Amino acid sequence: MTTIAVLGAGRIGESLLSGLLNTGRPPEELLFTERSPQRAAELTEQYGIEHVDVPSAARRADILVVAVKPQDIEPLLDEMVPVVAPDKLVVSLCAGLPTKVFERRFAEGTPVVRVMPNTPMLVGEAMSAISAGAHAGEAHLELVEEILGSVGRVARVPETQQDAVTALSGSGPAYFFYLVEAMVDAGILLGLPRSLAAELIVQSAVGAAAMLREGEGHPVMMREGVTSPAGTTISGIRELEKHGVRAALIDAIEAARDRSLELGRVHETDE
Ligand SMILES: NC(=O)c1ccc[n+]([C@@H]2O[C@H](COP(=O)([O-])OP(=O)(O)OC[C@H]3O[C@@H](n4cnc5c(N)ncnc54)[C@H](OP(=O)(O)O)[C@@H]3O)[C@@H](O)[C@H]2O)c1
């Protein structure tokens, strides 16, 4: 039996607990910590999972999943460091925090795995990228794959690629939301009611995503499949090219990567 404690059961922490229950993990193998007693009571009522304090989580759990906001990490580390033994696996979901931030505080040899999840975790469709710290091995990565696999898909990446991952899948959902918002606006311009425009676009997004996932071909081939000679789609594509939408997306993702690097430097200078 492997016991998992989620430290900080906010949006992401709650989604993870819920996903673990949905994939058959018994509530007795799960624990969580929370600052607000009211929220803790609500979560226990809803999921039947025990709320504990940090020393108890550190004693009873084999895996400690840190899911507080990065700006809240220092007080939590102050609580964890005296009570976390080096045989516990520490899994950080904190965006932008290098494994070094944990390793330099915990006892030598403590395994740490860094995860960059994304918001579709809330609906069990996360894309999570995981990276091993200096003391985490194959068995640790497999455990984290199993945990994150309960709320979506998981890829292994070297930690040096986490800034690129943050820009692509971390921020990615926001770019899709932005595109959907713009397309719904276009529907309104064309005289459709907002609810109908939203239904048409959201279902088109879901359908296109399902085709992409099922791997029916390369995205270019899929687009060519709906772009007939002298048809409607090519007229639209010409406007997208004229407005440099492809270049804008590439620049946007590069800017997000640069910002992630910049935020990461703050933690490096803390050393
Ligand atoms: N949401 C996303 O899209 C997303 C995507 C990728 C990564 N992440 C990462 O996931 C982590 C969690 O994000 P979130 O959106 O779930 O944040 P959140 O909703 O603010 O959840 C964090 C929870 O932890 C609690 N908390 C803070 N310090 C604590 C402590 N010392 N002990 C116990 N509980 C504590 C907070 O309580 P209070 O409310 O009282 O502060 C809150 O309930 C962040 O590090 C974020 O970078 C999030």
77: domain CATH number? 3.40.50.720
- Which residues is 129 bridged to in the sheet? 116, 155
Question: Per the structure, how many domains does the chain have?
Answer: 2
Ligand 1 proximity of 67 Cβ (cutoff 6 Å): yes
Residue type at 266 in one-letter notation:
V
pLDDT bucket at 270, cuts 50 / 70 / 90: low
Inter-axis angle of helices 245-269 and 172-189, nearest 10: 150
pLDDT bucket at 179, cuts 50 / 70 / 90: very high
| Residue of minimum CA distance from atom 26 in ligand 1 | 8
Tens-place pLDDT, residues 17-56:
999 999 999 999 999 999 999 999 999 999 999 999 999 9
Tens-place pLDDT, residues 223-244:
998 999 999 999 999 999 999 9
Same domain, 137 and 41: yes
Residue 216: pLDDT above 80? no
pTM of structure: 0.94
Ligand 1 proximity of 117 Cβ (cutoff 6 Å): yes
Residue 217: pLDDT above 90? no
Same domain, 125 and 12: yes
Residue 67: pLDDT above 90? yes
Same domain, 143 and 212: no
User: Which structural domain range is residue 211 located in?
Assistant: 172-256
Ligand 1 proximity of 151 Cβ (cutoff 6 Å): no
Inter-residue contact 96 to 267 (CB < 8 Å): yes
How many angstroms is it from 24 CA to the middle of ligand 1? 24
Ligand 1 proximity of 11 Cβ (cutoff 6 Å): yes
CATH number at residue 197: 1.10.3730.10
| Residue of minimum CA distance from atom 43 in ligand 1 | 10
In a domain, 204, yes or no: yes
Instruction: Give pLDDT, residue 267.
Output: 73
The residue assigned the tokens 């007939």 is: 228
- Closest CA relative to residue 169, chosen from 95, 64, 222: 95
Same domain, 106 and 62: yes
Residue 271: pLDDT above 60? no
Same domain, 140 and 248: no
